[in-house]
Structure 1
Amino acid sequence: MHTLAQLKTGQLAGITRLDLSCGLTEFPREIFELADSLEILNLSGNALSSLPDDLHRLPHLRVLFCSDNLFTELPVCLGQCAKLSMIGFKANQISHVPAAALPPQLRWLILTDNRISQLPDELGQRPLLQKLMLAGNQLAHLPESLAQCTNLELIRIASNRLTHLPAWLLALPSLTWLAYAGNPVEMAEEVAPDDTTPNIPWSELEMAEVLGEGASGVIRKALWTPLAQPVAVKLYKGTITSDGSPLHEMQACIAAGLHPNLIKVEGRVVGHPEAQAALVMDLIDPSYRNLAALPSLASCTRDIYEPTTRFSLEVALRMAQGIASVAAHLHRHGITHGDLYGHNILWNEVGDCLLGDFGAASFHATADTLQTRALQRIEVRAFGVLLGELLERIDTGLNDATRQLLEGLQARCCQPEVLARPSFEDVEALLQSVPHP
């Protein structure tokens, strides 16, 4: 994090990224002295309610973060920034999004946790739009013009007021990751209550070190004292995340049930002193690690893999089969994961894998309707992306015939005609037919 003193004394000359969070109520004009180099500007966590009309004087500006401020309107000046492609205004008080605020190169728009009830039709006239984060607003409908956004891959519309999912949305050729939990359209689905998940009193848990923390909560190691069993406890936050509500995530974790490629839920925590929602889960063996890292600002919707991440055909196939199997299991339970990604998969050297993070999960009808089929085939595209990433990293055991077979499957999973994609049952069957080395 930089300081205002550094900026005002010229110590930051030539930087490409500026991070300022120091209670700002006005945009520091000294930022314009960085115009020759500044590409990323992060003003999150201040008290700003406006930006200067001449913001376009930062000609190289590509990324602007203004989350956790006091904006009530998306600033019109953004539309004049020729290179601006990523905009983040999460957790403000925005109720108005003017068409003029949308820059021509817009690729990634984050308006999570605001007060927006309507979006301009001009949003669909941004052909590069790839990632759209709208969870936690007051939207009752989406502009139909978004049907023109053929590059749109990720949409987060959880916790809004949508009463239906429009047909054009489910037919978008590139849509891959969709989260819509907490809308009337999703809450109308009957979710069978889970009476088998036991309640575990908070008093029976001895908390230990933090194992990890994400947008939806903190995971801590603990001892479940009556059984002397080491476990993991996920304590959920109550705030809206980019994916949606952490409490919806908790519901989906429980409803997902048992599967070898899911982390087992031992029970719900009851009696937390601050009434915090929490789940007790199996402690994962330390041999497991994340398959990939989150997408970067540059990759937008694509995970980042370590250059050294390589697999044998056998390991890659084992992972692909495991993920296809667990995705089919979820779909049978009326759940779409919504975030089927390498960064949400834990794996070990022999190809055992676990799909985690249900923050973007949504419920759908279990009946075989056109809408259900479309929702499931959108997730099949996510699997196709993952399969392609695995294929790129196989270094042993892959002959031409097997590569052709797997690349053919990958192409079918990612084809633009949503309903022409295979189901996960079809994917499973094909993967099981692949000859092992």
Structure 2
Amino acid sequence: MFSLLADKLQDVFKDLRGHGKITETNITDAMRAVRMALLEADVEFNVAKGFIARVKEKALGEEVLRGVHPGQQIVKIFHDELTALLGGDNEPLNLEKPARIMMVGLNGAGKTTSSAKLAMWLKKQGKAPLLIACDLHRPAAIEQLATLARQVGVPCFTPPPGEKDVLKVGRLAADWAKEQPGNVQIYDTAGRQEIDEPLIQEIKALREFLQPQEVLLVADAATGQQAVSVATHFHQALNITGLVLTKLDGDARGGAALSMRQVTQRPIKFAGIGEKLDQFEPFFPDRLAGRILGMGDIIGLVEKAAAAIDEEDAKRMEEKMRTASFDLNDFLAQFKMLKKLGPLENILGMLPGMSNLKDFSVDEKQMKRVEAIVLSMTLAERSNPDVLNARRRQRIARGSGVSVTEVNDLLQRFGQMRKMMKGFGKMRQMMSRPGAASRFGLKR
């Protein structure tokens, strides 16, 4: 996500931090590099130009020139301006009754999947969402939404077979919703092309009838330079209330996010960060700005962990690690716990400084091989890895489809980790004895 832009900006800031004093010359040089980085990331030219002008104006202010650490102050200015460009503060959905949400956008942007993801997210917030199929043009769109609704566990309205009048479907759906216990209606509409004026008029008529509280433009993060045209056209036609960015995990540039938010002056409300239905989250501009600038997103990481990990399981795991009774069963449980947080590269990107590591990547295939090795062991072998002789290791290698060398490497790394935990445990016991802190020159 934004890795291309993040890498370029990290290089600029590294150079700026090397200067004891920020001058107009090195600010101008830095801004030139930033402008190129924004354009390469598919940020629209005028958006990039305005951003650079605002940053340069603040960077050349007296308060920066007199600063003790001018490079750090430049980063702070960038963070504030990038946050403002992305929308400032997170803006929640307007769910006043009748709480209707229309999902609109281009063909292939991911409206149907995003509708189901939004329903799942709302359900986790204690709401009772309803999914309504209004895409009468794409083959199988209605069945796709119905299938996703069953996966999410929410009611779904499907129009009569062969129906082509979207206004009629809207009326039927509104009547159906009154009879349901749900309190948020999500309308999945057909994909439009900017130049498809008849379909644009059709969706305008549906909007006029429904009077939704939210009209969310679903846009692919890889839209690129087309982003401004798409956002402008839909906003003029429908007066959108917010944006949903999809496939943020799969695009290294992400300039569409900056451009669409700026030209519509409407907030980015949600972001799709993976293919799974639970990989969908509210959009926080300041947090994303921090991640782009290498500051991480600790708040987001803590929230993910709190939502995905059972507190009792976490306490139990901490106790095992602290007492060095950690075995391969616990290793497997920890592995599964980590997978609940989502793609590991996304998680590591939320840690400060991780984006500074060049060419850093997570080998998901290698992680699957590790899991396969542990799953190929018996419960007794996981509990006591010391019994794993050569014959057992050969059996595990065959069962997991890897080489004996890979099995040996994993067991060696696990042994080192357990030995390190044991050392920490002894140190903790030693430090807990009376007078221990003073013997080590420490104050308690």
TM-score (norm 1): 0.24
Rg larger for? 2
Q: Which has the higher strand share?
A: 1
Name which structure has the greater RCO, CA cutoff 8 Å, separation 6+: 2
TM-score (norm 2): 0.24
Q: Which has the higher helix share?
A: 2
